[in-house]
Amino acid sequence: MEVRVDTFSRSYESNTFWLSARKNAVVDLGSVMTAKQLPLDEACCIILTHLHYDHTAALDGLKLSGKTVVMMHEADAKAIGTSASAAHFFGARAPKFRVDTVLTDGAEIDLGDSTLRVIHTPGHTPGSICLYEVQSKSLFSGDTVFPYGSIGRTDLPGGSSRDLIRSISRLVTLDVSVLYPGHGEVTANNVNEQIKQSLKLAKAAEGPE
């Protein structure tokens, strides 16, 4: 599996990842510009790590071929088109789109020559997910963790600092060689230690019980 990242200068746009596999896939699609540049009809699926506008905006009104399905965790899929998208922070309305496949924790997405395992990681949103590819030890972390020990915010609707701590605690048990975050640079620099630092930050932000 080869991964291509598309990022643009506007800070609110998330990373979009094109996964080249026997069955191509896309992870997150917040930018209309990116959507126009990608051969979406060649993708088996568009996997959304969570509901927020900067990860989903390009899907609003997007016409996809019947073979390209949209996937999202069930907890966020229930809130499509509502204020939970945080679109108002971007001066926009909540995008509306159809989810074809509702994801649950532990589900596996078959790309033919590789498999993505869905890890439900609530905290940033109730339906946030990460995707783990065991062969390459790749983690697509959405806005759960970022490079160099940073973490996703929990002060938006549906956010929970305690849930985020529990979610990152699951991630530290993985063997991760490459981190593909929702924002920021891709990193392969001692990723396991970076995720441990994210857990420390999340616990410090939560404070004593």
pLDDT tens for each residue of 146-160: 999 999 999 999 999
Distance CA 80, CA 208 (A): 34
**Which residue carries 């995008």 as its tokens?**
95
Two tokens, residue 38: 């990608």
Instruction: State yes or no: pLDDT of 4 exceeds 70.
Output: no
- Across the chain, what does the average pLDDT equal? 93
Render pLDDT for 68-118 as a digit per residue (tens, 0 to 9).
999 999 999 999 999 999 999 989 999 999 999 999 999 999 999 999 999
**Residue 115: burial class (beta carbons within 10 Å; 0-12, 13-18, 19+):** middle
Amino acid making up residue 49: T
Name which residue leads in pLDDT, 34 or 2. Answer: 34
Instruction: State yes or no: pLDDT of 61 exceeds 80.
Output: yes
Distance CA 98, CA 90 (A): 21
| CATH at 64 | 3.60.15.10
Two tokens, residue 203: 């616990």
pLDDT band at 15 (very low <50, low <70, confident <90, very high): very high
Give me the pLDDT at residue 13, please. Answer: 76
Give me the pLDDT at residue 133, please. Answer: 96
**Residue 92: burial class (beta carbons within 10 Å; 0-12, 13-18, 19+):** middle
Q: How far is CA 44 from CA 26, 30, 101, 106, 158, in A?
A: 8, 18, 12, 20, 30
Render pLDDT for 168-197 as a digit per residue (tens, 0 to 9).
999 999 999 999 999 999 999 999 999 999
> Which range marks the domain in which residue 200 is found?
2-206
| Long-range contacts of residues 16-22, Cβ cutoff 8 Å, at least 24 apart | 17/140, 17/180, 18/43, 19/111, 19/114, 21/111, 21/112, 21/113, 21/114, 22/111, 22/112, 22/113, 22/114
**Mean pLDDT of the 16-36 span:** 93
Give me the pLDDT at residue 8, please. Answer: 46
What's the structural domain count of the chain?
A: 1
